[in-house]
Amino acid sequence: MRHGNKNNALGRKKAHRGALLSNMAISLIEHKRIETTLAKARALRRYVEPLITKSKDDTTHSRRVVFSELQNKEATASLFRDVAPKVADRPGGYTRIIKLGNRLGDAAEMALIELVDFNTVYTKEKASGTEVKKTRRSRRSSGAKAAGTTAAKAEEPKAEEPKSEEPEAGADEAKSE
């Protein structure tokens, strides 16, 4: 019976599970996103989020505590140097798990776990949305824009005609040689 047992053993003994989670945390910090099974991603989230919280307080003690978990100098330095400043104002929830479907060989549920503040797709949308608000236009205003674009298109071929003459001249020179 597993009364009160909250950790997922992942089919491994304690030492093996600790090494697995440590290595996955190092990869996540280094690459900012990794693809793994859903169970491992959920276990990794519970493992790495307290480390990211500790990295927000850049003291010798917190660096030593994080290093004792990761056992990797480069990952610890990257966590304190790159990740911590980006998540400084975030009150938790530093990772995002996206389900990807089932793996082909054994039908295991696959997931993508990533650091939230390092996803360029979502951050670009938010940045562009705050700069320029897009509103819906009526048909009349879009018709006026279409008329303006046709006028602009009418001007463009005039500029393109000299460009088309230059390659022909080069072709004539090639024929004469």
7-65 pLDDT, tens digit per residue, is: 899 999 999 999 999 999 999 999 999 999 999 999 999 999 999 999 999 999 999 99
- Burial-class residue 139 by CB neighbours within 10 Å (0-12, 13-18, 19+): exposed
pLDDT digits (tens, 9 = 90+) for 144-166: 555 555 555 555 555 455 554 55
Output the pLDDT for position 120: 78
Q: Is 66 exposed, middle or buried (0-12, 13-18, 19+ CB in 10 A)?
A: buried
- Prediction pTM value: 0.68
Each residue's pLDDT tens digit, 71-127: 999 999 999 999 999 999 999 999 999 999 999 999 999 999 999 999 877 766 554
Task: Write out the CATH class of domain 14-120.
Answer: alpha beta
Delimit the CATH 3.90.1030.10 region(s) of the chain. 14-120
Task: Give me the helices (H) in 117-177, please.
Answer: 120-131, 139-176
Rounded Cα–Cα distance for residues 6 and 41 (Å)? 15
| Of 27, 52, 51, 54, nearest in space to 113 by CA | 27
How far is Cα 114 from Cα 26, in angstroms, rounded to an integer? 12
Higher pLDDT, 24 or 171: 24
